[in-house]
Amino acid sequence: MNQVDYLRISLIDRCNFRCQYCMPEGAELDYILRQQLLTDNELLTLIQFVFIPVGFTRFRLTGGEPLLRPGVVELVKAIASFPQTQDLSMTTNGFLLAKKAHDLYNAGLRRINISLDSLDPETFDKIIGNRSRSQWQQVWEGIQIAHQVGFDPLKLNVVVIPGVNDHEVLDLAALTIDRQWHVRFIEFMPIGNAQLFGDQGWVVSADLRQSIRDRWGLTESQVRGNGPADVFQIPGAKGTLGFISQMSECFCDRCNRMRFSADGWLRPCLLNESNQIDLKTQLRAGVDPAQLREQVRSLLALKPEINFKQRESGATGAYSRTMSQIGG
């Protein structure tokens, strides 16, 4: 079991996209009220006096869409300023990135993951649930500016959806040939939307790798990240290709992360809701950080026994929150 030193922190559960693999179509989501969200001071208190002391040194800011969080640049600067922070990154849909990339970089953010599920504006709009003017160009502009600013590595996350964008795999992989970009192909996860694609959406990596291998060849890369991706490279390419196969190739034994929701729930596994700690309520009630640290240590001790395929009541998709609300 890897050392668990990586915490994914959801800053907000809202998003300006409604991606079909993230939010159930037609569902009315119960968003967290502003007063239920952790304040900046509360979050920084937990990071400094609870999470860092128990061994967390790598942090990824997620959402929903984290760039919707008011004061996000100042929050990045504060987290980056902790001497123990070894790595600080962010996952974003990129729509607001063009305006904020420079400020985020100057605040101390150095790594960024941007969701880009299609190079075709029409397909992109279909995936994100957009029914007005196309938003692909603004996301693409954000990617270009992030590259110019100097984010390294700059990663593009692609959720592969059978029959929707799987025909673009080679075009997306080709982005890594002349650019020092890292494209990561991610298997669809059935969270709150298990009936969307059925089992066909779960197993994609082997076919993807073979199609790329047939076109250019494929070698294992020496570049490794903080996560569970299997990393490869097109021979001679500047960037890399990652495959995250959480459904077809369980990597629980390699998992080095926990997740912290925007309303203060710490959970050891994305797909396990049985073991959680409500840190926000306790913090607001005046519980000493030392007691909170002991609870987190106890949860860390349980993590090796938790497998995300061990779901409550054995029911696929029986989760109280969607992916966007968890901060996956």
Backbone angles phi, psi at 166, to 5 degrees: -65, -20
Mean pLDDT, all residues of the chain: 84
What is the predicted pLDDT for the residue at 19? 72
Does residue 175 or residue 269 have the better pLDDT? 175
Indicate the pLDDT class of residue 198, thresholds 50, 70 and 90.
Answer: low
CA 187 remoteness from chain centre: 13
User: What is the pLDDT at residue 315?
Assistant: 38
More confident site: 234 or 313? 234
What pLDDT is recorded for position 318? 44
Q: From CA 199, how far away is CA 164, in angstroms rounded?
A: 15
> For residue 173, what is the domain's CATH number?
3.20.20.70
> What order do you get walking across the sheet with 111-115 strand by strand?
219-220, 230-233, 240-244, 181-187, 154-160, 111-115, 87-92, 58-62, 6-10, 257-260, 265-267, 277-278
Structural domain harbouring 87: 6-326
Residue 169 lies in a domain: yes
Beta bridge partners of 8: 60, 259
| Confidence (pTM) | 0.88
Average pLDDT over residues 175-180: 96
Domain count, the chain: 1
pLDDT at 100 over 90: yes
232 vs 21 pLDDT, higher one: 232
More confident residue, 121 or 25: 121
Is residue 1 in a domain? no
Most confident of the following: 3-7, 112-116, 303-307? 112-116
